[in-house]
Amino acid sequence: NAGVTQTPKFQVLKTGQSMTLQCAQDMNHEYMSWYRQDPGMGLRLIHYSVGAGITDQGEVPNGYNVSRSTTEDFPLRLLSAAPSQTSVYFCASSRTGEAYGYTFGSGTRLTVV
């Protein structure tokens, strides 16, 4: 059972470039989300999805897009990378309907130069 798989693990981008961070889960979880983690700021929610075809914004959505065409996959797109998007990105999934704990991926460390 792979859980939540994130790729790539590391990425360096130049300012203005675009890229997609991949996230896949094999637990048939309805809920998926993207967080960024920065020193002194904790985990902040970027976007989330409660099921295929449904997405919504979190607290820091600007500069990011998401889509959810299948239950398993929830990619995060950076449209035009900026140095302020340098961070560690985590994808997480859970069942819905009750207060279930999230399962997190191992993260993507992104540096924008």
Partner 1 sequence: EDQVTQSPEALRLQEGESSSLNCSYTVSGLRGLFWYRQDPGKGPEFLFTLYSAGEEKEKERLKATLTKKESFLHITAPKPEDSATYLCAVQARGSRLTFGEGTQLTVNP
Q: Are 60 and 45 in contact (CB under 8 A)?
A: yes
- What span, in angstroms and rounded, lies between the C-alpha atoms of 91 and 21? 9
Nearer to partner 1, 62 or 80 (CB): 62
Shortest distance, CB of residue 16 to partner 1, whole angstroms? Answer: 28
Q: Is the bond into 8 cis (omega within 30 degrees of 0)?
A: yes
Q: Are strands 10-13 and 108-112 parallel, antiparallel or unpaired?
A: parallel
- The token duo for 55 is 């997405």
Shortest distance, CB of residue 42 to partner 1, whole angstroms? Answer: 4
> Rounded to 5 degrees, what are φ and ψ at 84?
-65, -10
Nearer to partner 1, 8 or 16 (CB): 8
Nearer to partner 1, 14 or 98 (CB): 98
Shortest distance, CB of residue 80 to partner 1, whole angstroms? Answer: 27
Residues in touch with partner 1 (CB under 8 A): 4, 31, 33, 35, 40-45, 48, 50, 58, 90, 92, 94, 96, 98-107
Shortest distance, CB of residue 99 to partner 1, whole angstroms? Answer: 3
